[in-house]
Amino acid sequence: MPNRISRRSLLGAAGASAALAPTIASSQGANSQGAAMADNDKIGFAIVGLGKLSLGQLIPGLKVAKGAKLAAVVSGHPEKARRVAAENGLPADAVYGYDDYDRIAKDPRIDVVYIVLPNSMHAEHTIKAFKAGKHVLCEKPMATTTADAEAMIAAAKAAKRHLMIAYRCHYEPQNLDVMRRLRAKSMGKVRQINTTMGRQADLSDPSDVWRLDGKMSGGGALGDMGVYGVSAARYLLNEEPIAVQAWAQTDRADPRFKETEDLINWQFRFPSGVIANGSTSFAYAPTMAFEVICEQGRLDADPAAFYGGNRLTVIKGGQAQPPIPAPPSDQFAREMDWMADVVRGKAPMVSPGEEGLQDMRLMQAILESAAKDGATVKTDWGYKRAVDPAAVVDVPGKA
């Protein structure tokens, strides 16, 4: 296949750019502008899984984090793990395999375990980490089934440890800016949201092979890219959908889609009357964008969820203002610093396991509706976000 682009390369395609123009009030929390802590005072992270995200984003992010540090690596490839450890100044006994993973219980250097494995492995290694007495930061989607997600949440409660899901957009400056604009009703009420999240998957890329495997991924494009749109509609509005309709279109002759759906479109209905249209695909041009249409204008975030280079265009009175680049920041450092301060008791939990479970349930409802050719599925389960990111997470450079 000619277009060799993975989610990780898509998200990291654009570099970070200039500072955000509008003034945004900051709040106290893990990402406030302060000096980095002494190394001995930083919260130690064990990275479980040494794939593209870990090597390209997480370990570099820990090098610039203010209150978090790399303490150990866990991998099924011993030579690779030893090499990565040596490159990052870790001693030999900070290298773990999946066969001796339980040994982390006796390692006081490890406070948080960051799960960066194929989705089907999240629950097993999260629960093991809780049994070892560690806190957990887990990549999204948090699991492949709602039952596994519920088991992860129960394990966290039983261990009296924190479970955070890696919703980095909760801490990303541009997304926070849009959330705050919407809370302030700067362009009147929101009427409609459109999210488009997808790319071309490639069977020659090992990281895409498992994403196209129904059992390992749990949902193909929907779980990999669509989860960004499902989550975005919710955090942009700070509301939960009460019903969904969805449709799927998949070419089964395409070898990529033997076990998962390809193009999925859905429509959420919210209590306020807002309609949110979402789309995801593993067979269309790479895009990660959202549009918020209000009574008096429009907010276009394109890109909206890259690792860097996100841009916001404000259209009001029929006139588009110059695009606003997100301020330079390492999204992963911000996310891990936030988790570190949650562990310290200095920041509220913004992205708990319950957030991941809500998205799991909504994605399940999308697939259920699509299987019934757009039948309405009720989603008013009574869930309410515990903490609004717009109310507590700061933005770099804002006093």
Q: Confirm whether 140 is a catalytic residue.
A: yes
Q: Confirm whether 80 is a catalytic residue.
A: no
Q: Which amino acid is at 103?
A: R
How many angstroms separate the CA atoms of 89 and 259, rounded?
A: 42
How many angstroms separate the CA atoms of 168 and 142, rounded?
A: 13
CB 225 within 8 Å of CB 286: no
Phi and psi at residue 115, in whole multiples of 5°? -85, 115
Q: What angle do CA 324, 327, 329 make, to 5 degrees?
A: 150
Integer CA distances (angstroms), 386 to 235, 343, 351, 353, 356, in order: 12, 17, 9, 11, 13
Half-sphere exposure of 345 (CA within 13 A, CB side): 0
Tell me the helices (H) and strands (E) count for the chain, helix number first.
Answer: 14, 16
Longest dimension (CA), the chain: 62
Which of 60, 43, 303 minimizes the C-alpha distance to 196? 303
Catalytic residue among 96, 101, 114, 228: 228
Catalytic residue among 69, 134, 140, 398: 140
State the catalytic residues: 140, 228
